[in-house]
Structure formats: structure tokens, C-alpha cells
A and B are shown apart, each in its own frame.
Chain A
Amino acid sequence: MFLDTWLPDFSFLFLSILVEGAPFILLGTIISGFIDVYLPSGAIDRLLPRNRGLAVLMSGLLGIIFPVCECAVVPVIRRLVKKGLPPACAITYMLAAPIVNPVTFLSTYSAFKKIPLEMAGSRLLFGYVIAVIVGLILLRVGVGRILKPRIVGELREAESSHDHHPDHGSTLLEKKNRLIMALRAAMRDFVDVGIYFVIGITIVAIVNTPPPVDQQTIPLRDYIDGTAESIWGAPAALMGLSFLLSLCSTSDAFIAATLDTFSNGPRLAFLVFGPMMDVKLLFLYSTILSRKFILILAAGLFIGIGTLSVLLEPIFEGFERNKAPPFSQGIQE
């Protein structure tokens, strides 16, 4: 039984998540490798406003210019933090970028056929507000309580050591060396992040593989559907689902659109919480953030997003009133 069905099914799911996510991690690590070698320390920080509050507000919008999904953003911010970007700004960007970007906006727009602009716009705004709130709170928290001790050590070492100014007048040999260094750093980041990614997707694959013993076990989705009528239970269940499914933010809206036994508030909670916190991200975040901070962040996001989705539910529900049927419009045209 185990070898005949469970292991092939697990392997099938494991590989499907791997081949979906790995290209995005690679993209992020190649960007991070080039940032490492070609971007001078503090350059990004200098681009942001000196006022830290404004810097956080702007960091939440960086995804519009640098659109990356949640897998790709982790290696990028890891490198940016090492290059001097304040952790509050980096985490704001990390949380917002998978949602506040044109690709996610368009996919959400096309998934919700009846109320496309309302859902895509609400998701973007909801995600931005949550990321900025987290960033503003983190302005008051010490770096040592946010980042891994190893990263803090590297930052302190960098501060006390030399400033890396890229030498733009370097020779051809030096330029080649720098390319090798950039790709070497990219691969090192890829392996670093990949190791944690494997742990995350192993758990996701186990959760999604039918258990080898009790075939009468009820699939997760059936439990989740039973909470649709509960005011607090519905967003909690959908956030739990997004956490376990670990979907890519560029296409999770197509799943949310099918969860139509739920109202719009819980579905938005699903669409905002998932790209900020899921099983694989839990492990990816641990490449830069301290474990204690990740747990606090996860709990804070869960409570904050869940509460906001419940409070704003009357607004979200109003979207569907007085809407003309898109299908009939298409036919008339």
C-alpha cells in the first residue's frame, strides 16, 4: 500500500510543487546574486525617503516596479537586507510584493468574472494596508529581534568593515570575475533557499496525499466547506487552507473564485494571507528571519487579516449587488 500508492502519489505531488516553484526561486536568487556583486551597499536605502514611515509606505509599492511572487521575493530581500535596506522596509516589500503587483492584479481580475475590478482592487489594497501596518510596527522593533542571528552578525560585520563601491573602471578580467561571483552567489542562495523550500513542499505534499492507512479520511476541503456560514470560522478556515495549499500568488485567485460557498470577506482573507504566510514560506522565511519573529508574524497576520476581513465584510458583500450578468453582455455584443 505504502509503496504502491502513497509513495507514487506523494512523489507526484512533491515534483509538481517543485517544478512550479523552483523557477521563481531561481529568478529571485539570480536577481539577488547580481544585487550582491553590482549593487553598492546602501544604494536602495538611499533611493527611499529619509523619513522611515514614508519609506515603509513606498516599500509596499515596490512590487509594481519589481513584480515578484512570494518564492522569488525571499532571496531578493535577504540580499537587500544585507545591502543595508532597513528590515521594516524589506519585510513590507516582502509581504506586499506578491500581491501588489500587476501580474497578481490581472490574474485576480480574470478569475472573478462577476466582480473583477472590485476583487482585484480590494485584494491589492488589503494586502498593501496589512504589509504597511506590519512595516510601521517593525520600525519600533530592534533588528536583532527580527533577523536571524547569523544575518545580524553579517550586518554588523559589514557595518564595521569596508564599504563596497563597485569599481566601474575595472578591466575585462575583473568584469568576468564579477560575473562569476554574481552567478556563484546566485547559486549559493538558490541552494540555501532550496533546502528550506524542500522541507516546506514535503509537508504540503504530505498534507495533500491521501493517508496510506484510513481511506475513509475526509479530505481537507470537506472540513473547510462546513465552516462557510461561520463569521469568524470562515476566514480562519480559508486562511488555514491557503497556508496548507501554499499556492502561487499569481494564480491562487482561480482557486478562490471556486470557493463560492464562502462570501467575499473570507475569500479575500484567503487571497491576502496565502501570499504572505504558508507552509513553504514558513521555511523560506527562516533563511533570514528569526524563528520567534516568524511565529509572531504568522499569528499577527492571521489575527489581523481575519479581523479586517470580518469587519469589512459588509463592504465586500456590497460588490455583487446590482451587477449586470457578464455572460449576457457578451452575447449581446
Chain B
Amino acid sequence: MTATPILYESVIGLEVHIQLNTRSKAFSSEANVFELSPNQNISAITLGLPGTLPKANKEHVEKSLHLALAMGCSIPQHTQFDRKNYFYPDLPKGYQITQDKNPIGRGGNWTFTTGGAERTIRIHHIHMEEDAGKSNHELSATHSLIEYNRAGTPLVELVTEPDFRTGQEVYDFLTSLQQLVQYLGISDGNMEEGSIRCDCNVSIRPFGSLVLGERCEIKNVNSRRFAREAITYEAKRQEEVLSSGLSIERTTLLFDAEKGTTHPMRKKEGENDYRYFPEPDLSPICIDGSWVNRIKEELSILPAEAMAVLIDWGVQKEEAEKICSKKKWYQYFVSMVGDHALPAVMLSSMVVNKILPFAENHDIELSDVLSPSQISEVITLFNSGKVGKSDVLSVLLPALMKSSQTNVKELAQSLNLVISVETSDLLPLIEQVLSLNPDKVKEYQNGKKGLLGFFMGQIKQTAGVAIDVGTLKPLLEDALHKDLPNN
């Protein structure tokens, strides 16, 4: 007798650490940069020298408030720092200043796109804390080396409810989060450079069960792809453990990106007692309504709102998504439409198909590819019917971006793109080409629709001047249908 195999689902919750781009560190005045030579950016406060005290950083609080408000968290009237006590050489004071009982935001949720649909996950809370330094165990054979430049830099930590079910959802959430923090201007959001790090709590349970299984925590995952791989691997591992009749032990894991596997970091997690208590060196912070209102007013447009603006202007969804994936692209687009009164639909085609790829290939800003007046002239040419859309996209724009020629009209003329053939001139041309190719006409009429391109090419060649494809195509199709023999 064989038992029916149990089908499991994964339950995943995240703790995401986001490095904030404040000017100074969280509790001291040195600059918030650590791409310097080791231990060059450390004050007495960062090192926790005897007699030093922390001082809260208003920008740390405000940037955290931006995230909390964007995610719809409730903001308490008072927020307070706590100490998390543990010994580690890269933790200078023997405790981390963080938030435990009174975090800066509670509740809230976030909606993102995954698998072509919208998905909403709940936020448990958002809190502020300081980062630790870094330990290096490889550089010296006899000693561990400690680097404190990163110590004391401000983080905001986002803790979600266990609402994710797959690694792909986590991947898509992190993508959306990167986009959000970059919109809010609170972090560069660069996961690969460590600006966003994430701990993934993974458990599995039989489908339909409401009871949570014992979870394992995968620490310090620093890429979306790794998060997806680690979660997928871990869920499978847990399933194998349960299937073999064993039970899951709560473990802290690390993900080995090369092998694609997880392995235990340290055991006995339950024995870690951080002895949280209120940080007596920092007074509670009072967040009054006027402060919250001011932050709300300053709050950036959110990615979903940006999308809605473009869709409203008639921009295609895929194009809108591309433009809105970076706030600076969205801002560029909005200013081109708004300040230069350009039509959104044509502009988005130009930007997404040509200008943006060019900017990315050459690693320059969108606004540095073409001047607003050049773009404006291209669109004017298009609007006047003098240059066809496909010629604009495939010939004129590439030429304009590459050439030093700044006069759009002259360039279009020199490329022979300016339409000098009127509609009334087109019909004889069509007739001439069709009569020269009766066999092809028959083939087309018998279903070989691909021949349309052949006819258009022939007509263009015969004409010897630029023809607007948009005008030509319906006329040509009309003519091909008219010639249909009566049977």
C-alpha cells in the first residue's frame, strides 16, 4: 500500500535591511560612506570609546518615515530606540541600537506584480537601527581583521508577515521594493552592492493547513536571484526532511550561491537572548501630526501612481512599465510631455524602443541622448505626416542619436525620409506595381499575407522617395482586396 504523497506549500516571511542614503551616520556625525580604505571613517562614538553617547539623526527618522508612510504603516506618537545586546567584534558597543517595542511604523501592506497579477503582502513593522562593521577572517592567518567604516550607518528594517508562498514572489517583491526605495529617494536600492539585504524565514506545511511549520532562517541574502534560489532549495530540503519522517529543527542558515544550497550557520538559535531594553542614552522621539503631514507632502509619487499617470495618457502598459521602472525615467518622460507639450503615445514609443536602449548602452542619462528640441522636431515631422512612424523609429532616431547633425529636418531629408508623395500619387503607383506582379497578387489573395512587405518594398523602390508606410499600407491592402476575382 502506498500513501498518497502530501503536497506542501511554502510559507515565507522576510526581514529586509535597507541602507539609507543619509548624509551622516545614524548616531554620529561622520559621513555615511564606507567605500574608503579600512577604518578611515570612524569617530570615537562609532568605536564606542568610553564616555561617548549616541545622537539620533533626524534624516534617519525622516527617511524611515517615508518608507513607513509609503507602505501605509501606522505611525506612533512616540518612537524609541532599544539596545540589542550581543558580543561580536564588529559590534563596537557590545549592543546594537535598534528598535524593539516602539518601532517607527506598524502594520501596512504592499502591492506588487507577480506572475502577471497583483499580489498584496502585509507588513508587520518597520524599524530603525544601526549597521555593524565587517569582520574578515581570510586576510590574516593569525587574526581576524575588523573594518568599522560601515559600523553605525543607518538602516531601516522592514519585517513582513509570512505572506509569501514562492521564491518567485519574493523575487518580484524585492524588485518592487528596490523600485520603491529608489522612488522615495531613501536608498540607492542596489541589492548586489549590499544596499538591500534580506533574511528569509522559510517553513512548509501541507496544503490547506493553517498551522505554521517550524521555520528556518536564511541570513543575509544579497540578491533577488539568490533569494529565489535559496527559498526554492530550502523548501525542497524541508519537504525531503518531512517526507523521510524527520522533523524540521529551527536553524539559522546561510546560502551558498555557488552550490545553490543552504547550510547551518549556527545552532541553538533559541539560546540567543538579546536582552532588549530601552536605550537610556536616547530620549524617545515624539512624532507629532504636523511632522507626519509634512513628510506626507514631501512623499514621492509611488511607482503604481506613476504607472497610472502614463496609462491615463494612453501609453501602452509594457511601455509604461519600462518607463516607470526608474523614477528618473518617469520624471524625464513627464517633463517631456508636460514642459514640451509632446504627445505621450508617440514619445513613449520613441523612448522605450530607441532612446532608452541607446542611453543604457552608452551608460548616459536619458536627457543626454537628444535635446528636447530635437525630439520635438522629430515629432513635429511625424505629426505633419512628412515622416512615417517606422522611419522615425528605425531610421531617423538611430541616425540622429549617432550623428553630430543637430538639424532634424535636414537629416531627415538627407536620409531621404521626407515624404513628398501625396495620397493621390500613391494609387497609380500601387496599380503599377500590382499589374507588374499578377502572380504574387494571386498568391497574396490565396493567403500568403506575408507578401504585403514585398509589395510595399516594390512601391517604395518605384517611387524613389520616402513614403509613409502608415498611409500606404491601408491603401495597398484595399487595392489587393479589390482585385479579388469574383468566384
The answer to whether A binds B is: no
Q: Which residues of A contact B (CB under 8 A)?
A: none
